[in-house]
Structure 1
């Protein structure tokens, strides 16, 4: 019996070790390997935005779970990482989050500017004229995305910036 117990323990340890992926593999899964959510049948992970001025992130998927975090920026981009009933597990650009009721989320795509003083260009080219500057932390509406560039806008200012300046869009994502 003792020998069998050791084998089972070793198998469990091997399985557990195989589930531990390098951090970069978890943060940016290949788009071809994404899974579908069991509730919506939409891709998970995926990006959405906060619908109102406030959203409570709970420890688990129900109102009986305690609130761990409160999102307070209308339009804030969030990444859905899991689904359960009417609840979505989300995280922000810093990895903070929890379970949020789906009614607090919108499919509208916004991004957060990651680079301070990110240049917005008239075209998706570094040599094109600069149409504006975006500060780090600015929330902007996401438009078209090419392999390296995305079009963004906010308050009448629009332009193209490199994806590396943004959080809320996958590195290999394209949009029309």
Structure 2
């Protein structure tokens, strides 16, 4: 009976995780939302609990992940490839990072395509997320700061504005 109740609760969390204006039942924070991996290693499990099998092992500290559901101390996350599972909340951080999704991304001094080039970042580089305007975000990676087109990043929504 208790297992059936837990299953029903998890299924209701899963079923309701598609809406962008939804709030998490545990944290009351928006779902979906982006976070980063706090630990050097994190297990993504098939379900919310240590008894569930491990589907993925993330090994890159600060990797951006998207939370799509909550259940107790567990958060369902997915990565840039759409893969993931349930992770214990203690492995996640609210510090925002992004992944360079373009083959090469230009970091510019100002948020404009004609602005001076500061550096270039290869696809797969993880960067700390700063301010975001409608089309550009400021990032920090490898000791360099610059503005990158939002379309070249994974870990930020297209309409997200950050100050």
* Counterpart-to-counterpart distance in 2, 1:119 and 1:34: 32
**Structure 1 equivalent of residue 57 of structure 2:** 70
**Structure 1 equivalent of residue 87 of structure 2:** 100
SS at match of 1:39: coil
Matched, 1:47 2:51: no
**C-alpha displacement of 1:116:** 1.3
**Structure 1 equivalent of residue 73 of structure 2:** 86
Q: Which has the higher helix share?
A: 1
Matched, 1:173 2:160: yes
Matched, 1:159 2:159: no
SS at match of 1:164: helix
Q: TM-score, length-normalised on structure 2? A: 0.88
SS at match of 1:62: coil
Deviations 1:91-149 (A, max 9, x none): 00001100000000000000000011210000000000000000000000000000000
**Structure 1 equivalent of residue 105 of structure 2:** 118
* Counterpart-to-counterpart distance in 2, 1:34 and 1:93: 21
Structure 2 stretches of 5 or more lacking a match?
1-14
**C-alpha displacement of 1:155:** 2.5
Q: Answer with 1 or 2: which has the greater Rg.
A: 1
Matched, 1:147 2:134: yes
- The Cα RMSD (Å) is 1.2
* Counterpart-to-counterpart distance in 2, 1:127 and 1:41: 41
- How many matched pairs? 147
**C-alpha displacement of 1:154:** 1.6
Structure 1 stretches of 5 or more lacking a match?
1-18, 20-25
Q: TM-score, length-normalised on structure 1? A: 0.81
**C-alpha displacement of 1:156:** 1.4
SS at match of 1:94: coil
* Counterpart-to-counterpart distance in 2, 1:103 and 1:122: 36
